[in-house]
Structure 1
Amino acid sequence: MRQINKGAEPGVMTAWKAANRALPNYCYASLSAAHRDEIRTALVAEQRGLCAYTGRRIESSTCHIEHLRPQCHCGPGEDVDYRNLVAGVPAPNTPRLPYGAHKKDSWPPIPDEYLFVSPLSGGCGARFTFNLRGQVAPAQAGDAAASETIERLGLNDPSLVQLRKAVIDATLQIRGRGPASIDVGNARRRLRALEQAEEQAGPLEPFSFVLVQALERQIQRIEKIRDGRRRA
């Protein structure tokens, strides 16, 4: 999971709120398709082109607007609170996925919100660790919220794990050579490029936060082997 830094809500949403706040149908369902398109576009840009929960690549045409606090648990006006909105796979009216927003569904109820590691929470990325097989686990043993979030979002669903493994394998392999054949120099350059991209504007690579961890693991593995040979 990558931390999302929320910006100002789109002007079209601010204008809609000003015009509709006093009306009885002041809720998300009353937003027009055009309003939702504008909001979705803003969310995708804010998230640097990555799904809020999975890290998959998204565009405004391939995602939907997701409520961090599910609509069924929202109080008046909460379902149009911009800070409650993120973008996630898949697009509206498409087959359900076994992970992400579809898996999360109406979880968590308000009393269980402490068990949800939100992509808006500070340091959320550091609470998850990815191995080179694409699987995710809590970074710290006993982190009940991270464990519950992984389960409730289906982050270890085999199809999602395979997507992560594919990008990890492609990143760690030098063309024409075996798996995990990238050397320290190239791994460090690749890692630096990902870190620099994070500091700049524009879309990020799909699963970029997973690749950072994979490259760090590869560098540590090679350096450990080198150290062992020096001591031998």
Structure 2
Amino acid sequence: MRNIQKQPEPISLIRHRCSSHSDYDNYAEKDDLRTSLVSEQRGICCYCMQRIYPTLEKMKIEHCQSQSPNKFPEKQLDYTNLLGACLGGSGKPRRDQHCDTRKGDDDISFNPANSKHDVERLFKFPGSGRIEANDLQLQSEIDDVLNLNHSILVNNRKAVIDSFTQILRLKKVRDVDIPKYLATWEGKNGAELEPFCQVVVYYLRKKIARMK
């Protein structure tokens, strides 16, 4: 998981919010919203960091705080509460669901788009492929609410870091060049982010810290 910097919201969402009797269900221009969310998230899911695309068939619009009537209905058109998520095993048994699909109306205590939460500080990405937190509540939210340590996701993250470290060894990358790799995986070039990018970012930041 990585921090998301929110960009200006779609004009169509602003107009809809200002219209009479507006709610999320009767917002007809959700394609605008999908495009904005995928763009600001640089092409990856807000939670698991798999690739997403701005279509109904390739992503979900996530309400970080649930829009359900008994939860946070006032947040249903709040752009700061809206994120782009992968399909998360939609249609599969609950044990194989993750991200927004698994979360449903459950609560989590963090929002990747809230700079005060700084999710990059809250979570660790060890070489095992798991996501770990020092806080027991956060770990429970990762494991039980979002199911981000499902074996498929763990294996995918481990494959990414194993492949990257092998490249470093084969190319005999010098320590002085490590910051360049970090800038690329952080997306400093403005391009789409690589799926599961934060696993490599975490590894490189630790490596640079040890070099100092």
TM-score over 0.5 (shorter chain)? yes
Identity %: 29
Superposed, 1:183-194 pairs within 5 Å as 185=173, 189=177, 191-194=179-182
| 2:155 is the alignment partner of 1:157 | no
Kept in 1, the 8 Å contact 2:38–2:44? The answer is: yes
Aligned to 1:177: none
Distance in structure 1 (CA, Å) of the matches to 2:110 and 2:77: 21
Aligned to 1:36: 30
| 2:164 is the alignment partner of 1:171 | yes
Aligned to 1:57: 51
Kept in 1, the 8 Å contact 2:59–2:86? The answer is: yes
| 2:118 is the alignment partner of 1:104 | no
SS at structure 1 position matched to 2:187: helix
Distance in structure 2 (CA, Å) of the matches to 1:188 and 1:59: 35
Instruction: Give per-residue Cα distances to partners, 1:167-226, cap 9 Å, x unaligned.
Output: 11111113xxxxx845763576355233255334231111111111234556789x7xxx
Cα 1:132–1:187 change in 2 (3 A) is farther
Cα 1:217–1:100 change in 2 (3 A) is same
When the two structures are superposed, what TM-score results if normalisation uses the length of structure 2? 0.82
Structure number with the higher helix fraction is 1
Q: How large is the Cα RMSD of the aligned pairs? A: 2.6
Aligned to 2:79: 82
Larger Cα-atom Rg: 1
Cα 1:28–1:12 change in 2 (3 A) is same
Aligned to 2:64: 68
Unmatched 5+ stretches in structure 1? 175-179, 224-232
Letter in 2 for 1:150: I
Structure 1 residue 130: deviation in Å? 1.1
Aligned residues: 200
SS at structure 1 position matched to 2:73: coil
